[in-house]
C-alpha cells in the first residue's frame, strides 16, 4: 500500500511538471525500477500511467484542443506513425537489447533539457522540424521519458510561436502520440496495472494543475529538478548494468 501511494505522489509530481514543460517521466521511470519492475515493464507501465498528464493539461489551459489538433495534425500523424514503430520494436526485440541501451537513452533525453531553443523559420527549418518530430515519436514508442522536452525544443525554434503556444502544442502532440503507442503496450501483457493506475491517478491531477501553472512557475525550477533526477538515474543505471 505504501508503494502505491508513493507512485501516486510521483505521478502527481510528474503530471504537474509535464503539464508545464515536459520530461518529468524521467522521474517516474527510475521510481518504477526501484519498485522492482524490469526496464521494459517499467517503460510500458510508465507510458500508460502518465498519458493523462498532457491531455488534462490541454483541458486546463486557455487553448482549445480542437484548434490545436487541426493546426498540428501533420505533426501528430508523423509522431504517431513513428511512435507505433518504436513500440513494436520495443516489444519485438530481445529485452537484453533494450536493457543495454536504456542508460544511454535516459542520459540523452536528460541532456536535451540543456538544448537552447533558437527561434528559426523557413522551409528548411520546417523540414528539419518534421524530421525531429518524427524522431521524437520513434523515441516515444521505444522508450518515452523526455519526449516532451524534445518536442518543445523543436517547436520553439519557430519564432512565430510563443512559449504558451509551444507548451500547449507539445501537450497535444505527445498526448495523442502516447495514446496510440499505449494501445500496443496494453495488449503486450507487460503493464503493471497497479502502478499504472497509481501513476494515472496522480498525473491526472498534476496535469490539470500544470496546465494552469504553465506560465507562472519558474522554468529553471522544474528544469533543474528533471535534469538532476535524470542524471542521477542515468548514473544508477550505468552502475546497475
SS3 annotation, the chain: CHHHHHHHHHHHHHHHHHHHCCCCHHHHHHHHHHCCCCHHHHHHHHHHHHHHHHHHHHHHCCCCHHHHHHHCHHHHHHHHHHHHHHHHHHHHCCHHHHHHHHHHHHHHHHHHHHCCCCCECCHHHHHHHHHHHHHHHHHHHHCCCCHHHHHHHHHCCECCCCHHHHHHHHHHHHHHHHHHHHHHHHCCCCCCHHHHHHHHHHHHHHHHHHHHHCCCCCHHHHHHHHHHHHHHHHHHHHHHC
Q: Which residue has the higher pLDDT, 227 or 127?
A: 127
Q: Rounded mean pLDDT of 104-116?
A: 74
Lowest-confidence segment of 44-53, 107-116, 154-163 by average pLDDT:
107-116
Per-residue pLDDT at 176: 85
Q: Rounded mean pLDDT of 132-151?
A: 86
Q: Rounded mean pLDDT of 48-61?
A: 72
Q: Rounded mean pLDDT of 214-221?
A: 65
Q: Rounded mean pLDDT of 81-92?
A: 93
- 19 pLDDT tier (thresholds 50, 70, 90): confident
Residue 169 pLDDT > 80, yes or no? yes
Lowest-confidence segment of 59-63, 106-110, 187-191 by average pLDDT:
59-63
Per-residue pLDDT at 130: 92
**What share of the chain in percent tops pLDDT 90?**
32
Block residue for cell numbers 517503460: 43
Per-residue pLDDT at 163: 74
Per-residue pLDDT at 41: 94
Contacts of residue 141, defined as CB under 8 A and 6 or more positions apart, other chains included, come to 82, 83, 84, 85, 86, 87, 88, 89, 90, 181, 184
Residue 217 pLDDT > 70, yes or no? no
Mean pLDDT in the chain? 82
Per-residue pLDDT at 227: 76
Amino acid at each position: 500500500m505504501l508503494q502505491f501511494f508513493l507512485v501516486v505522489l510521483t505521478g502527481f509530481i510528474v503530471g504537474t511538471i509535464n503539464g508545464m514543460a515536459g520530461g518529468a517521466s524521467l522521474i517516474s521511470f527510475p521510481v518504477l525500477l526501484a519498485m522492482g519492475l524490469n526496464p521494459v515493464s517499467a517503460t510500458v507501465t510508465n507510458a500508460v500511467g502518465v498519458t493523462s498528464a498532457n491531455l488534462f493539461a490541454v483541458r486546463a489551459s486557455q487553448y482549445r484542443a480542437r484548434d490545436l489538433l487541426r493546426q498540428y495534425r501533420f505533426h501528430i500523424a508523423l509522431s504517431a506513425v513513428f511512435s507505433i514503430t518504436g513500440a513494436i520494436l520495443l516489444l519485438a526485440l530481445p529485452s537484453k537489447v533494450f536493457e543495454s541501451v536504456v542508460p544511454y537513452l535516459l542520459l540523452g533525453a536528460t541532456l536535451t533539457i540543456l538544448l537552447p531553443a533558437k527561434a528559426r523559420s523557413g522551409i528548411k527549418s520546417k523540414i528539419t522540424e518534421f524530421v525531429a518530430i518524427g524522431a521524437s515519436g520513434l523515441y516515444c514508442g521505444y522508450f518515452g521519458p523526455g519526449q516532451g522536452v524534445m518536442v518543445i525544443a523543436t517547436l520553439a525554434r519557430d519564432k512565430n510561436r510563443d512559449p504558451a503556444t509551444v507548451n500547449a502544442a507539445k501537450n497535444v502532440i505527445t498526448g495523442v502520440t502516447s495514446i496510440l503507442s499505449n494501445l500496443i503496450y496494453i495488449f503486450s501483457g507487460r503493464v503493471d496495472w497497479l502502478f499504472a493506475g497509481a501513476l494515472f491517478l496522480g498525473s491526472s491531477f498534476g496535469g490539470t494543475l500544470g496546465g494552469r501553472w504553465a506560465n507562472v512557475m519558474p522554468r529553471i525550477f522544474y528544469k533543474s529538478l528533471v535534469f538532476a533526477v535524470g542524471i542521477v538515474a542515468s548514473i544508477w543505471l550505468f552502475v546497475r548494468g
